Amino acid sequence: MKFVIVAFALLISACAHTSQSQPINSADTSILLTHSVFFKLENNDEASILELTEACNKYLKPHEGIEYFAVGPRAIDKKRDVNDQNFDVALIIIFKDVASHDAYQTSEKHLKFIELYKDNWKNVRVFDGVS
């Protein structure tokens, strides 16, 4: 639960501080990028959720330019009307700049992660925000 509160507080903070009304120039080194990924799994048993969480730590965490990294299962006890229940694993990464995010997207480890685990993804939603 602590993970979800911290991750969403950071995401909200990043979005609230954004004053950009024009497209982002990826050469601007002063812009943080919050990359939030929500995985819905075909097989969403406890072992599969743990496997994906561990894979995120192994393949995605060790990238240059990451300021904050968190991954974990959905907080299943949070069921307010505003709580999205349509995911199994949440991944939140805050990059020091857009260029770090862009390098991450095409990195060998990120592509290997996708190749190894995509067959169990029913749905993946990505939300990127800047501040």
Q: What is the pLDDT of residues 20-33, one digit of tens each?
A: 455 555 556 679 99
Q: What is the pLDDT of residues 18-74, one digit of tens each?
A: 444 555 555 566 799 999 999 999 999 999 999 999 999 999 999 999 999 999 999
* pLDDT score at 29: 62
**Any long-range contacts for 104-109 (C-beta under 8 Å, 24+ apart)?**
104/35, 104/60, 104/63, 104/65, 104/66, 107/63, 109/59, 109/60, 109/62, 109/63
Q: Tell me the CATH number for domain 2-17+31-130.
A: 3.30.70.100
In a 3-state reduction of DSSP, which class is residue 74? coil
What's the pTM value of the predicted model, to 2 decimals?
0.79
Chain mean position to CA 5: 14
Report d(CA 49, CA 109) in Å as an integer. Answer: 19
* pLDDT score at 84: 81
Which whole-number Å values give the CA distances from 69 to 50, 76, 83, 94, in the listed order? 16, 21, 22, 7
